[in-house]
Amino acid sequence: MWRLGLSLLAAMVLLFFGYSTAKTVTYDFNVTWVTANPDGLTERKVIGVNNQWPLPIIEVEKGDQLVVNMHNGLGDKNASIHFHGMYQNGTNEMDGPIMVTQCPIPPGADFVYNFTVNQNGTYWYHCHADYCYPDGYRQALIVHDTESYFYDQYEEEFTVTMSDWYHELVEGIAPDFLSVYNPTGAEPIPQAFLFNDTLNSNIMVKPNTTYLIRLINIGAFVAQYFYIEDHTFTIVEIDGIYTEPTEADTLYLAIAQRYAILLTTKNTTDKNYPIVTVADSALLDGIPSDLKLNQTNWLQYNADADHPQAVMTVDDATQLNPFDDITLIPHDRMPLLPEPDYTLELSVNMENLGNGAGYALLNNISYTAAKVPTIFSVMSSGDLSTNSLVYGEFTHPLVLEHNDVVQVILNNNDGGSHPFHLHGHAFQVIDRAPAYGATFYDYADGDPVPYDEANHTAFPQYPARRDTFVLPPQGYFVIRFVADNPGVWMFHCHIDWHLSQGLGLLFIEAPTQMQERLNIPQNHYDVCKAGGIPTEGNAAANTEDYLDLKGQNKQVGWLPAGFTARGIVALVFSCVSAVVGIIFLVVYGLSDLKFKGEGADGAAETSEVAGKGAGKTTVAEASRESSNEEIK
Ligand SMILES: *[C@@H]1O[C@H](CO)[C@@H](O)[C@H](O)[C@H]1NC(C)=O
Ligand SMILES: *[C@@H]1O[C@H](CO)[C@@H](O)[C@H](O)[C@H]1NC(C)=O
Ligand SMILES: *[C@@H]1O[C@H](CO)[C@@H](O)[C@H](O)[C@H]1NC(C)=O
Ligand SMILES: *[C@@H]1O[C@H](CO)[C@@H](O)[C@H](O)[C@H]1NC(C)=O
Ligand SMILES: *[C@@H]1O[C@H](CO)[C@@H](O)[C@H](O)[C@H]1NC(C)=O
Ligand SMILES: *[C@@H]1O[C@H](CO)[C@@H](O)[C@H](O)[C@H]1NC(C)=O
Ligand SMILES: *[C@@H]1O[C@H](CO)[C@@H](O)[C@H](O)[C@H]1NC(C)=O
Ligand SMILES: *[C@@H]1O[C@H](CO)[C@@H](O)[C@H](O)[C@H]1NC(C)=O
Ligand SMILES: *[C@@H]1O[C@H](CO)[C@@H](O)[C@H](O)[C@H]1NC(C)=O
Ligand SMILES: *[C@@H]1O[C@H](CO)[C@@H](O)[C@H](O)[C@H]1NC(C)=O
Ligand SMILES: *[C@@H]1O[C@H](CO)[C@@H](O)[C@H](O)[C@H]1NC(C)=O
Ligand SMILES: [Cu+2]
C-alpha cells in the first residue's frame, strides 16, 4: 500500500514539475482599432488588442510554450508580431517580419504564433509590417526567472516603457517622409514622449525596499535618457542578458533597447522624486516650441507630499553622461569569440535616389522586400539555397555557414546615430567609436571615421552582449556572433523611418540546416494564399530557374548620370518645398521620377540600378549641414 502511495506521490511530483517548468501560456489577440489619448493632447486611432490600449504585457517563464492566437480585425491594414529579442531557435517562421519569415497577415485572417521561450529577462513585442507599430501595436514581453542571480535581492518588480508618440497614423505621415519634398530624409518629429504610455504618472513605492525595474524603449525613432533624481541603481540585465551588477545613475535607451535595474528606495517617506526621461534631441532635425522633450513622472513615496517638477541640471540632453553599455560584463562571462570565420564590412549611407526621395543604404543597397517571403525561398530552393542569388539583389542577402563565427563591422557615413538590431541572436559588442557622453556627437562635424583593423582599441575579454546597439554618428561598431541558429534573420536599424528607407539586410543563416529542421505550419501557407503571395520560388517568384531574377523587386534607381547632388540640395534649401518639386520636375524631366505614394517596391520595375555612383556621395552630409543651419 505505501509503495503505491509513494509512486503516486512521485507521479504527482513529476506532474507538478512537468507542468510548472513547461507550461503553455496562451494569449488571444483580437487586433482592432481603438481610440486613445495618452498625452492628453489629442485623441487618435491606435491599434488595440481585445479593445484595449495600452496592450497587455506578455508574461511567461523560461521554458514556457508561448502561444499567441492573433486575429487581424483592423479591416484596412496588414499586421504581424515580432517578439523582439526571442531567438526563435528552431522556429524561424515565428519571428514576425513580413516578407522575411512570413506573409503579411491580411485583414480578417488568423495567425498562430507558437514557440518555446528559452531565455530570461526583458523583451517586447511589436508589429513588423510596414508602418504599423508606431500606431500603438507594441508592448513589453517579460520572461520571469526565479533562478536569476539577483532574484533574492529584490522584493517587488515593475516594468515601464518609454516611447515617442505621433498624433497622426504612420501611414498618413509616411508619404511625405519618403518623398521628393523631403530630400534630406528628415524624420517626422513626434508630438510627445510617453512614459509607460501616459504622462505625469506616479509609481508608488515603499521605503527601504528593493525593486527590480525593467525599462524598455518601445518607440519608433527617438532615444531617451533616464534617471531618477537623487537615486542610483544597479544594472543587472541588458536586452535579456544578465550582467555583473553595475552601479549607474543615468541610462541611454535607444529604440528597442532594454535595461533591468535594482533600485533600493530611501528609508524616509517625506518626499517624492522625479523620474526623468529626456528625449535625445540630437536626433531631431527641428524642435517645435511646443514639444516637451523632458518628462517628469514620480517615484511616489507619499501621496500627500509635493510632486516637484524635475530640475534640469544641463541645458541640453547631449550633456547628460549616460552609462556606457559597452563596458558591461555579462554575468555568464562568456569570453570574446575567436577570430571570425566570416567578416562583413558595411557602410551606412543616406542618399537621394532617382525619385528625389531620401533612402538609407548598406553598401549601396536599400533593402527592398522580395516577392516571396525569403524563408519560403530557402525552403523551396533545394541545393541552390546556399547561393545568395536565389534571394535577390535588393534584400541584401548574406548566406552564413552553420556555426561560423561572424564579425560585422558597421561604419557610419551618416551624421545620425542608428540603433541596429539583429534578429535571432544577441551579439558581442567588441568595439565602438566614439564613446557615449561628451564625445558621442563629436564626429558629427568632421569626416566619418571608419573602423581600422590595424588600429583599434583592445577588444574586451568578456564583451557585453545585447541585441540592439547604437551606431554613433560618423563612427563605427564591431560585433561578433556565432551562426548557431539556422534561419533568415534581419539586421536593421530599429528607427522605423530608417527601416522604411531600406536600412536593413538579411542573414540567410545555415539554409541547409533550415531545410532539415524547420517545419512551417499550414497556417502560414493559408495566410499567404489569402494575401495572394507565393510560397515558392526565388526572390522574383521564379520557380523554374532559381537563379533567374528577372522581375525581382528593385530599389529605386540612382540619380541620373551628370546629376549633381549638391546642386539639388542647395536648390531645395533655397526654395519652399512645393516650388522645389516643380523645379526638380522641369530640370530633370518627368521620365526618371516617381512620386509619393510609391515605395521602393512600386518604383522598382522601371528604375535602373545601372548608373549608380553619379554624384551621390555627399548628399546626406551636405543636406544635414543645411538643415542644421536652418534650425540654428
Ligand atoms: C474582434 O473585436 C471586434 C470588435 O470588438 C469584434 O467585432 C469581433 O467580433 C472580434 N473578433 C474576434 C475574432 O474575436
Ligand atoms: C497587404 O499585403 C498585401 C500583400 O502583400 C498587399 O497586396 C496589400 O496592398 C497590403 N495591404 C495594405 C493595406 O497595405
Ligand atoms: C505549439 O507547438 C507545439 C510544439 O510544436 C505543439 O505541440 C502544439 O500543439 C502547438 N500549439 C498550437 C496551439 O498550435
Ligand atoms: C536563464 O536563467 C537561468 C537561471 O538563472 C540560467 O541558468 C540560464 O542560463 C538562463 N538562460 C539564458 C538563455 O540566459
Ligand atoms: C505600465 O503600464 C502597464 C500597461 O498599461 C501597466 O500594466 C503597468 O502597471 C504600468 N507600470 C507601472 C509601474 O505603473
Ligand atoms: C531597512 O531594511 C533592512 C532589511 O531589509 C533593515 O535591516 C533596516 O533596519 C531597515 N531600515 C530602516 C530605516 O527601516
Ligand atoms: C536605510 O537605513 C539603513 C539603516 O539605518 C542604512 O544603513 C541605509 O544606508 C539606509 N538606506 C538608504 C537607501 O538610505
Ligand atoms: C527640457 O525641456 C525644455 C522644454 O522642452 C527644454 O527647453 C530643455 O532644453 C530641456 N532640457 C533638456 C536637458 O533636454
Ligand atoms: C589610431 O587611432 C587613434 C584613435 O582613433 C588615432 O588617434 C590615431 O591617430 C590612430 N593611429 C594611426 C597610426 O592611425
Ligand atoms: C540554438 O540551439 C542550438 C541547439 O539546438 C544551440 O547549440 C545554439 O546555441 C542555439 N542558438 C541560439 C542563438 O539560441
Ligand atoms: C558604393 O558605390 C560607390 C560609387 O559607385 C563606390 O565607390 C563604392 O565602392 C560602393 N560601395 C560598396 C561597398 O559597394
Ligand atoms: Cu537608423
Mean residue pLDDT across the chain: 88
Rg (CA), the chain: 25
CB atoms within 10 A of CB 323: 20
Q: How far is the CA of 17 from the centre of ligand 4 (A)?
A: 18
The reply to whether 342-531 shares the fold of 23-149 is yes
- From its phi and psi, is residue 499 left (phi > 0), alpha (psi between -120 and 50) or beta? alpha
Q: What percent of the chain has pLDDT over 90?
A: 81
Ligand 4 neighbourhood includes 144 CB (under 6 angstroms): no
The confidence score (pLDDT) of residue 319 equals: 86
Report the alpha-carbon distance of residue 138 to residue 123 in Å, rounded: 11
Question: Which parts of 274-391 fold into alpha helices (H)?
Answer: 374-380
State the architecture of 342-531 in CATH terms.
Sandwich (2.60)
Q: 23-149 in CATH: which number?
A: 2.60.40.420
Beta-carbon-side half-sphere exposure of residue 537 (alpha carbons within 13 Å): 17
Q: How far is the CA of 425 from the centre of ligand 10 (A)?
A: 9
Report the alpha-carbon distance of residue 570 to residue 623 in Å, rounded: 8
Pairing of strands 233-238, 258-264: antiparallel
Residues in contact with ligand 3 (CB, 6 Å cut-off): 65, 67, 112, 114
Burial of 249 (C-beta count, 10 Å sphere; 0-12/13-18/19+): middle
Q: Give the tens place of pLDDT for each residue, 132-179.
A: 999 999 999 999 999 999 999 999 999 999 999 999 999 999 999 999
Q: How far is the CA of 98 from the centre of ligand 12 (A)?
A: 19
CB 444 within 8 A of CB 310: no
Contacts of 94 by beta carbon, 8 Å cutoff, 6+ apart: 83, 88, 101, 113, 114, 115
Task: Give the nearest ligand 7 atom to 264 CA.
Answer: 13
**DSSP letters spanning 88-150:** -TT-GGGS--BTTTB--B-TT-EEEEEEE----EEEEEE--STT-GGGT-EEEEEEE-TTSTT
Residue 521 pLDDT class (50, 70, 90 cuts): very high
Q: Give the tens place of pLDDT for each residue, 87-122.
A: 999 999 999 999 999 999 999 999 999 999 999 999
Ligand lying nearest the CA atom of residue 442: 9
Residue the block writes with cell 493632447: 41
**Which of 290, 318, 283 is CA-nearest to residue 497?**
283
Give me the sheet containing 210-217, strands edge to edge: 192-195, 156-165, 210-217, 258-264, 233-238, 241-248
State how far Cα 418 lies from the chain centre. Answer: 10
Length of the chain: 632
* Domain segments of the chain as ranges: 23-149, 150-330, 342-531, 565-631
Highest mean pLDDT: which range of 278-282, 315-319, 384-388, 445-449: 384-388
**How large is the greatest C-alpha to C-alpha distance in the chain, in angstroms?**
97
CATH of 150-330, one of 2.60.40.420, 3.40.605.10, 3.30.460.20, 2.40.50.110: 2.60.40.420
Task: Give the nearest ligand 2 atom to 104 CA.
Answer: 2
CB 373 within 8 A of CB 528: yes
Report the alpha-carbon distance of residue 606 to residue 604 in Å, rounded: 6
Task: Give the nearest ligand 6 atom to 207 CA.
Answer: 14
The confidence score (pLDDT) of residue 93 equals: 98
**DSSP letters spanning 439-483:** GTTGGGGS------TTS-PPPPSS--EESEEEEPTT-EEEEEEE-
Ligand 10 neighbourhood includes 110 CB (under 6 angstroms): no
Ligand 2 neighbourhood includes 106 CB (under 6 angstroms): yes
Assigned C-alpha cell, 485? 541558429
Ligand 5 neighbourhood includes 158 CB (under 6 angstroms): yes
Q: Give the tens place of pLDDT for each residue, 266-301.
A: 999 999 999 999 999 999 999 999 999 999 999 999
Pairing of strands 427-433, 465-466: antiparallel
Cis omega (within 30 of 0) for bond into 190: no
pTM over 0.85: yes
Residue, of 629 and 335, whose pLDDT is higher: 335
Report the alpha-carbon distance of residue 60 to residue 26 in Å, rounded: 10
Q: How far is the CA of 364 from the centre of ligand 11 (A)?
A: 6
